[in-house]
Amino acid sequence: MTTKCQYIFMGTPSFAVTVLDAFSKVFGPPLLAVTQPDKPAGRKAVITPSEVKRYARERGIGVITPERLSDDQVVEQIRNLRPEVIVTAAFGKILPLSILALPERGCLNVHASLLPRHRGASPVAAAILAGDRETGVTIMQMDQGLDTGPILKQTPLIIAAEDTTGSLTARLAELAGPVLAETVQGLRAGTVREQPQDNEGATMTRILTKRDGALDFSRSAAELERRVRAMMPWPRSYCRFGESVIHVERAVCADPVKSGPEPGTIVGLDGGIDIACREGVLRLLEIVPAGRKRMQASAMAHNLNPGDRFDSGFVSR
């Protein structure tokens, strides 16, 4: 039977909740959960607690939401708990040295890529955009850099052809909890060794913005198909037809090589809306026209004609 672990958990979204839930089934609940402060959410900007905060409160786990981890009061509170390890998963903050130095076994981070590839804020979307065949979970010993610490354990996961950022994130979260538990067990047994990252092979990601959802038909259809999947569920891909913004929920590369009309031109309306790209044809399958609900793209086809044009353009709101 596994000995309970005296640990502190730091995380924010549903990915972190899935990791915490699996880890706590092996080691018991954390001494404390640390998460981001409540933030406005939705069109009405309702102040909303994080997924981790809700999870902790439902289970009677102590939770704090500090603005700054470096505050003396926060550092002292964590020091007094004397954690064996601090675990972070999609926390959203870099830990200061005053926190990193506290736990006996250090601070472990769950990262949703095979480091050093796709360091930073959006590793899942980045893997889909890049056309990677696989991604995975990395458990690393944290240092003061951004995802630069030594690797303790990695487990790969094949990216399915239909994976979106949402579906792939959920699968990685399910994988991550058991991998994290195995890593802590290995640290205790002395069977896990640190492996420095190859900084020469590192790639960086950044926080996504709404601008990233724009479909630029001067790119290839294969690239745009990946972008549609990578931008789901947020910020979602979009294009314009006249003055109307069309959000694209699902699309496929109908032809990877065909060329002909100017990019953005409709070249077919059978089974969807086929749009010419710099290279190949992108078929829109599910869309959300402005002010409408999600629908099959074929339902909009009767209002369109071959030769009509779609354009891309930044949506500021």
* Reported pTM: 0.95
Q: What are phi and psi of 225, to 5 degrees?
A: -60, -40
| Four-CA torsion 158, 164, 167, 170, nearest 10 degrees | 80
| Four-CA torsion 119, 209, 157, 176, nearest 10 degrees | 70
Q: How confident is the model at residue 317 (pLDDT cuts 50, 70, 90)?
A: very low
Task: Identify the CA nearest to 254 among candidates 288, 225, 231, 295.
Answer: 225
Supply the mean pLDDT for the chain. 95
Q: How confident is the model at residue 11 (pLDDT cuts 50, 70, 90)?
A: very high
Which numeric CATH code is attached to 210-303?
3.10.25.10
Task: Identify the CA nearest to 155 among candidates 95, 111, 207.
Answer: 111
Q: Is the pLDDT of residue 196 over 60?
A: yes
Integer angstrom CA distances of residue 273 from 229, 245, 287: 17, 15, 10
- pLDDT for position 313: 66
Q: Is the pLDDT of residue 314 over 70?
A: no
- pLDDT for position 41: 87
Q: Is the pLDDT of residue 271 over 70?
A: yes
Q: Is the pLDDT of residue 316 over 70?
A: no
Whether 255 contacts 277, CB under 8 Å: no
Q: Is the pLDDT of residue 55 over 90?
A: yes
- pLDDT for position 2: 65
Q: First CA to last CA across the chain, in angstroms?
A: 53
Mean pLDDT lowest among 124-128, 238-242, 258-262:
258-262
Q: Is the pLDDT of residue 37 over 80?
A: yes
Does the CA dihedral 156-157-158-159 come out positive or negative? negative
Give the list of residues 6+ apart from residue 164 with CB closer than 8 angstroms, or none.
Answer: 128, 229, 230, 232, 233
Q: Is the pLDDT of residue 238 over 70?
A: yes
Q: How far apart are CA 269 and CA 298, in angstroms?
A: 7
Give the CATH architecture of domain 7-205. Answer: 3-Layer(aba) Sandwich (3.40)
Whether 152 contacts 188, CB under 8 Å: no
Mean pLDDT of 300-316: 84
Give the list of residues 6+ apart from residue 220 with CB closer than 8 angstroms, or none.
Answer: 256, 277, 278, 279, 280
pLDDT tens per residue across span 90-127: 999 999 999 999 999 999 999 999 999 999 999 999 99
Q: How far apart are CA 248 and CA 284, in angstroms?
A: 7
Domain ranges of the chain: 7-205, 210-303
Q: What are phi and psi of 272, to 5 degrees?
A: 160, -160
**How many of the other CB atoms lie within 10 Å of CB of 234?**
12
